[in-house]
Amino acid sequence: MRSLSEGDGSLKLVGCSGSPFTLKNSIARRNYLLPFSTGDYLPALRRIIRAERIDLVIPTSDPDVLTLGKQRQRIGCRTFLPSNSAIARCQDKYAITRLLRGKKIPAPLTYRLRSRRDVERVFRRFPGRTKLWCRIRTGSGSLGAIPVRTPEQVRGWMNFWEGMRSVPSGSFTLSEYLEGRDYCVQSIWKNGNLILAKMAERILYIDTGSPSGRSSMPSLAKTVHDSKAIEIASRAIRALDRRASGVFFVDMKERSKGEACVTEINAGRFATMTNIHDLTGRYNMAVTYVRLALGQDVRLPNPYDFGGGHYLVRSVDTLPVIVSEAQLFKGIRSVMD
């Protein structure tokens, strides 16, 4: 909403959430409590759309994307979402990794853990590796993700999530651990054509107490441009859906030798760090998305947009800010001077 407000002040925003506490922080002109987890969801959403004369619904989480995708013909206004098959495949990290590796697109070597009995056998498939990556196949924000060195650590991790968090057996994967830089490539597509793409590097992360020390939510990120990484991300989306439409963001990590690998594709929603893609460079991605969704003719001379030298800075108790490199340390004094 901040990106849309700064990019086009004529847009009228209406907020919906299943939490009244989330709505207290909304900057929308009107806000509605929407029962996401009940059978009243669709009728309630349709009432809001009629009352507010909504032109476009934009989901902001994986469950929202999945639900709206399935109900898109019954909502009563426009959506701009990928196909349901693309959404479903992207929300299963193991399925998307298998697809990409089958298409010879760089992605981490990954195996499914059907149960704790599989751990020793799967571990032997990574000879010589001192660290592996264990995570849950679904979810966001590095849910259930942890670096591991031994089979015992994997079994303990699975036992905790299955026993204390009710994660079903067979929900975990084990993959190679990628040591290199962490990228987010966000792009907008229409009917298989790439309209706009931007890229940022996560440098530091919001400390959520995660044992991995990493997540998709950076406390510090910067704009970068790597044409090879963007091309890999574009190939991955085309492999997923030749007629791709809507927004996708591709998370990528580098191997130790610098090769960027796709770790996941998020279909139908913007990254939580989207301000760095929207408020830098020549084009606001969120506004571009809305204009395409509303059927406007958007023609950009070059889909690759790079606003160099900008940083996203944020924490849990402050609004995210975008600052130039020259402003990053301005006004900060060191006691060592």
Query: Angle 106-111-113 (CA atoms, 0-180°, nearest 5)?
Result: 155
Q: Where are the beta strands (DSSP E) in the chain?
A: 14-17, 30-33, 110-113, 132-136, 146-148, 172-176, 182-190, 193-205, 218-223, 246-254, 260-267, 310-315, 318-324
- What number is the average pLDDT over the span 29-52? 90
* Average of per-residue pLDDT values in the chain: 93
If you write DSSP's letter for every residue of 9-63 in order, what string do you get? Answer: TT---EEEES-HHHHTT--SSEEEE--TTSTTHHHHHHHHHHHHT-SB----SHH
Tell me: pLDDT of 157 over 90. Answer: yes
> Is pLDDT larger for residue 215 or for residue 101?
101
pTM score = 0.92
Residues with Cβ within 8 Å of residue 300, at least 6 apart in sequence: 195, 196, 283, 288
* Closest CA relative to residue 246, chosen from 16, 58, 25: 58
Predicted pLDDT of residue 255:
92
Tell me: pLDDT of 301 over 70. Answer: yes
pLDDT confidence tier of residue 5, bands split at 50, 70 and 90:
very high
Q: Which fold has domain 109-176?
A: Dna Ligase; domain 1 (3.30.1490)
**Sheet strand arrangement including 193-205:** 260-267, 246-254, 182-190, 193-205, 218-223, 310-315, 318-324
pLDDT digits (tens, 9 = 90+) for 323-334: 999 999 999 888
* Closest CA relative to residue 95, chosen from 54, 56, 138: 138
pLDDT digits (tens, 9 = 90+) for 255-294: 988 899 999 999 999 999 999 999 999 999 999 999 999 9
Predicted pLDDT of residue 122:
95
Min mean pLDDT across 30-39, 68-77, 183-192, 313-322 is at 30-39
pLDDT confidence tier of residue 140, bands split at 50, 70 and 90:
confident
What backbone phi and psi angles, to 5 degrees, belong to 273? -100, 25
182-326: CATH architecture? 2-Layer Sandwich (3.30)
* β-bridge partners, 223: 200
Tell me: pLDDT of 141 over 80. Answer: no
Q: Which region holds residue 11: left if phi is over 0, alpha if psi is between -120 and 50, else beta?
A: beta
Chain centroid offset of residue 69 CA? 17
Tell me: pLDDT of 16 over 80. Answer: yes
In the chain, domain spans: 2-79, 109-176, 182-326
Domains 109-176 and 182-326 share a fold: no
pLDDT confidence tier of residue 318, bands split at 50, 70 and 90:
confident
- What number is the average pLDDT over the span 204-208? 83
pLDDT confidence tier of residue 143, bands split at 50, 70 and 90:
confident
Predicted pLDDT of residue 82:
97
Predicted pLDDT of residue 213:
67
Predicted pLDDT of residue 277:
97
Predicted pLDDT of residue 298:
93
